[in-house]
Structure 1
């Protein structure tokens, strides 16, 4: 009865089951050994039948939150015994009570010493300092008392009150982390299932299960953004790229990006292993022509070439129409995210880390040099686009990323029939590309990503692993994992 009342609780329980499966993979068990076909089939059913594109990603995000807590928090240990959660909440309550009592006593002391007024606004006594020295002289002919005060009592009391307030806030957060935690929901559901004959339990269990706090969720649901083509301060060229992200920027994953990725997964209809292309096959089908970064030696330079092509298309079509705005958002956001992966998280990509990082730095340096020598910007987007393509085609570099990107961008503009078709094709390409690079055997790299709040590619990695795609196609195994910094195999 309790689980039938809300889809959210069902998803939390399913996320916990998936977390158990993923934890087995981190423990070096294989899917064949564990036999997880029921979860695999149910996940496919949810993907293909559920109309809510965000639900399946929300389930995987909750699963990764469980995994984060298991390795990087004390919540799993707290629920190993029945009395530990009660003790974990009781101790913060004692700390809060002690801090409030101490604050009350300090406030009374300040009132007694006249540092703060009474409720009626009248000072009871003269203000006292931190140190009070009293000297009384009683000679035979006169009596005199000398009192000296140093400092101010507020200098002692205010830091103590501030410290107490910080402790109270910390303990309140600790209590909220227990009450609103998905671990608590799982424990309560299990307790309810085992003790369902008690009619009074569902009421207070239901109240606790309704408590949710996104601020305490370790999964940030963010995606970093990075760009090679950044506006040079001395030039007005690419003025339409002024809103482009800085070299590294963190944004919330847009809803349209999630919808596009899930839609791409649905379109495979279970044949995802064959649908995912190798790095050398990343491209767009335009009529009878298949556009791809033909000079790419691996995944990283192919992604950067398509990133440059996407930026060129943004120069050509700076103001999207209403029908193409979502497609443009998907293409540009995923393009900049893949550029970020090459620049800052190359360990999550198929290529060698050092080679990818060195290639990005070299390409970024060449792009900055090319854009820095550009003349004054043109007044029309078409003229700016043509100027940019000519500059990039004339660039000299160890890697051909800029030239390949310029060729791809030029072909997209010429072969696509209008802005809407171009952005739609790019949105589909980037949705497929990010799925192409997501499968991986690099458990350590994804564990580090989970520790720092999560990556979109880690979310897709976990999802594809449960769908049966736990590694990249064999075609990508022969890519340039032995490349050196010069880009020579």
Structure 2
């Protein structure tokens, strides 16, 4: 590659004769055949890495204000970056040795890449705030070694005050970022508000409920039952679940948790904020929206639920705690402020899971959000870092301030000539000169990395300011401090941030994936997404309520669909299709039948203007279709979230695919469109595939086809009744799979938090708070209506 230094190829840059020498120095490493491949590989690797960072940090987050970065992505990037420093250090050493007495341009370029990537690296690592999340000090020590090594390369290899100043500023930013992240971890781990919060909340709930029980006994004699006639708003206004400030309650550690001063909870202007204080504020400040009050309730519930994921061997929620929380949710929240629609409940659950997800996987310090932290982290800390950078520049010039700042331009050609002027020259010669081509690539890499660094810091600021965490902290400060409520400046900032945050979010929408077994789609990323219908929200809420309180004075245990069928005498004979110990088999059987009905009986057609007039039957059809496809998606891609053992569910799914291939044939199984697959399934001739067959040797696919034909025969007689049945059955199934308490299933729910949580994760949280569980295996939870005699009511 000697043509790289061919002086006959003059760059076409009038008025800039020094650019020729700069480009020659930048590409001098290409002239040596000994390191030709390593230099080219370095540029290619950095170009790919920079493009990945650029895409990850810009295009994937334009419409997302979340602080979460997928742990899989974080793991891949962290692994790649762990190899980056030693490899680039070797190439830096090679490039440095080609320059003789002068420090070569390419070595400086590689060093700038190393510093910029180190700045980006901090934003692909989650911020652990608990001992369980931190996993020791290995990560902190590794980062300290990386920062120290970069400092050695900058201050013991570079020559010239200007070069040391520029690269010293970059290193100072890396060191400051490292100290900042280490402080997040240590402060969070030792704080009662974060690292020790789970054990503190357990102690508080035990003591608070005991105090509440004594208070009720004094008021109502021996009875400790909550007054059922209490107004829903009164339940919310008297709720003592902690939102913020619980660290102020701690007196000292005790033998079984912490000793707390509960008398402070009722005090004004003490920094301790409860759900009740937030709701009491409503009458004094009409401007507070219901969304913010629900957000604080979500935060309080999140703190209670977080204990389930902490590896502290904490006791499970007691029945008294779940009973209290059940009354708050169903008799308070769900009966207040249009609660009958289910929308407020699902908004609270969605925000709660969002808090939990960001608590486990956040790469930005939203968990520590508060007005005080905002001032320290985003105002005071940058000022301190700026002062340190100025001091670094001064020290690089041995105390001569004017010389230090002047040499920053004279010792760095890209700064003195103008980075945009240099880039314009290189692009003009991009296809004319090989040297200009590779120089353009190398400088473009630096551009991209610099843009990503700037974007990351701006994005972190925006995510922090408009995060739910900051909103809760602002509202709690507003509630706890009277002087802040009287401050027009604070009120104005608070309401504007709240308004913008509300516009950036869609809290009422619950998205979930859709998988139809009649479609040739087997990759999760290619599946369509739908939103939970309003009717489904209401039906799910009512089913949870009946499971928690019973129905008409009778227990209403969850079932795998049998109770829905037994409650309708016309369809009770279909309970045979629920006769399986595996809920995955029941889901697949009913999903196939539901999907066949969708194909045979399309819904309402679109009218002019793009709107459709949905009848009640159409709404039932929508609920049944969407929940059916979501449950099949759980079987295929999230078996760990279902009640059955994971391996058992995976075996059921494999059996389903084998049965589907047997019915469709190999070609149609892999390539046939949805309509062809439907027709093939409906026209398959088999002695088992008739409506009166009850053969236990049938496969799940065959059962689904038979069930679909049975329901089609009923469609002509009772079209609306069939879709209503299916809607109720799928609501029953989705509620049935939600509760789980085993460590395996809780771990599965934690893994689902990576993507912000599944719909079943929201329902699992609701079941955990309200104490709704599935009946023990083998117990009879339903019976035919005709067998209900002698006052024994069927469990429906």
Both proteins in one fold, TM over 0.5: yes
Distance apart, 1:367 and its partner CA: 0.6
1:188 and 1:106 mapped to 2: Cα distance? 48
Matched, 1:304 2:600: no
Retained in 2: the 8 A contact 1:95–1:168? no
2:737 and 2:371 mapped to 1: Cα distance? 43
1:400 and 1:283 mapped to 2: Cα distance? 23
Alignment of 1:119-130 (within 5 A): none
Alignment of 1:11-50 (within 5 A): 11-27=294-310, 28-32=314-318, 35=321, 37-45=323-331, 46-49=333-336, 50=339
Q: CA, structure 1 residues 217+348, in 2 after alignment: closer, same or farther (shift >3 Å)? A: same
Retained in 2: the 8 A contact 1:310–1:331? yes
1:166 counterpart residue number:
452
Retained in 2: the 8 A contact 1:308–1:409? yes
2:652 counterpart residue number:
359
Retained in 2: the 8 A contact 1:344–1:357? no
Matched, 1:445 2:748: yes
1:108 and 1:298 mapped to 2: Cα distance? 69
2:321 and 2:705 mapped to 1: Cα distance? 48
Q: Which stretch of the first structure deviates more once superposed, 330-339 or 51-60?
A: 51-60
1:259 counterpart residue number:
535
1:404 counterpart residue number:
703
Listed one character per residue, the Cα deviations across residues 188-242 of structure 1 (whole Å, up to 9, x for unaligned) are: 12222232224322222222333317879999943222233336xxxxxxxxxxx
2:536 and 2:562 mapped to 1: Cα distance? 20
Q: Partner of 1:210: helix, strand, or coil?
A: helix
2:685 and 2:564 mapped to 1: Cα distance? 19
1:234 counterpart residue number:
none
2:703 and 2:531 mapped to 1: Cα distance? 29
Listed one character per residue, the Cα deviations across residues 399-426 of structure 1 (whole Å, up to 9, x for unaligned) are: 6312221222122122343433322221
Q: CA, structure 1 residues 445+36, in 2 after alignment: closer, same or farther (shift >3 Å)? A: same
Retained in 2: the 8 A contact 1:219–1:453? no
Q: Partner of 1:408: helix, strand, or coil?
A: helix
Q: Partner of 2:512: helix, strand, or coil?
A: strand
RMSD over aligned Cα, in angstroms?
A: 4.5
Alignment of 1:233-252 (within 5 A): 248=524, 249-252=526-529
Q: CA, structure 1 residues 92+329, in 2 after alignment: closer, same or farther (shift >3 Å)? A: farther
Distance apart, 1:253 and its partner CA: 4.0
Q: CA, structure 1 residues 80+289, in 2 after alignment: closer, same or farther (shift >3 Å)? A: closer
Matched, 1:473 2:473: no
1:391 and 1:373 mapped to 2: Cα distance? 21
Matched, 1:151 2:436: yes
1:112 and 1:264 mapped to 2: Cα distance? 60
2:734 counterpart residue number:
434
Retained in 2: the 8 A contact 1:278–1:436? yes
- Using structure 2 for the length normalisation, give the TM-score: 0.47
Q: Partner of 2:457: helix, strand, or coil?
A: helix
Q: CA, structure 1 residues 335+382, in 2 after alignment: closer, same or farther (shift >3 Å)? A: closer
Alignment of 1:329-348 (within 5 A): 329-348=622-641
1:455 counterpart residue number:
758
Select which of 599, 603, 619 maps to 1:315.
599
Matched, 1:289 2:571: yes
1:76 and 1:164 mapped to 2: Cα distance? 22
Q: Which stretch of the first structure deviates more once superposed, 7-16 or 184-193?
A: 184-193
1:443 and 1:302 mapped to 2: Cα distance? 23
Listed one character per residue, the Cα deviations across residues 420-454 of structure 1 (whole Å, up to 9, x for unaligned) are: 33222211211121001111113211111112321
Q: CA, structure 1 residues 2+359, in 2 after alignment: closer, same or farther (shift >3 Å)? A: same
Q: CA, structure 1 residues 80+186, in 2 after alignment: closer, same or farther (shift >3 Å)? A: closer
1:345 and 1:113 mapped to 2: Cα distance? 51
1:271 and 1:260 mapped to 2: Cα distance? 16
Q: Partner of 1:337: helix, strand, or coil?
A: helix
Distance apart, 1:93 and its partner CA: 9.4
Task: Determine which structure has the larger helix proportion and give its number.
Answer: 2
Listed one character per residue, the Cα deviations across residues 103-156 of structure 1 (whole Å, up to 9, x for unaligned) are: xx9997565995578xxxxx9xxx899xxxxxxxxxxxxxxxxxx995366445
1:189 and 1:76 mapped to 2: Cα distance? 19
Q: Partner of 1:297: helix, strand, or coil?
A: coil
Q: CA, structure 1 residues 3+40, in 2 after alignment: closer, same or farther (shift >3 Å)? A: farther
Matched, 1:192 2:474: no
Q: Partner of 1:35: helix, strand, or coil?
A: helix
2:640 and 2:780 mapped to 1: Cα distance? 17
Select which of 683, 686, 689 maps to 1:387.
683
Distance apart, 1:361 and its partner CA: 1.0
Retained in 1: the 8 A contact 2:593–2:708? yes
2:50 counterpart residue number:
none
Q: CA, structure 1 residues 444+220, in 2 after alignment: closer, same or farther (shift >3 Å)? A: farther
Q: CA, structure 1 residues 214+298, in 2 after alignment: closer, same or farther (shift >3 Å)? A: farther
Q: CA, structure 1 residues 150+34, in 2 after alignment: closer, same or farther (shift >3 Å)? A: same
Unpaired runs of 5+ in structure 2?
A: 1-283, 390-407, 606-613, 782-796
Alignment of 1:80-119 (within 5 A): 83-90=372-379, 115=422
Retained in 1: the 8 A contact 2:603–2:621? no
Retained in 2: the 8 A contact 1:280–1:299? no
Retained in 1: the 8 A contact 2:370–2:474? no
Q: Partner of 2:513: helix, strand, or coil?
A: strand
Matched, 1:202 2:491: yes
Retained in 1: the 8 A contact 2:621–2:727? yes
Retained in 2: the 8 A contact 1:18–1:63? yes
Q: Which stretch of the first structure deviates more once superposed, 160-169 or 277-286?
A: 277-286
- Using structure 1 for the length normalisation, give the TM-score: 0.74
1:38 and 1:25 mapped to 2: Cα distance? 18
Retained in 2: the 8 A contact 1:312–1:389? no
Q: CA, structure 1 residues 156+422, in 2 after alignment: closer, same or farther (shift >3 Å)? A: same
Q: Which stretch of the first structure deviates more once superposed, 152-161 or 411-420?
A: 152-161
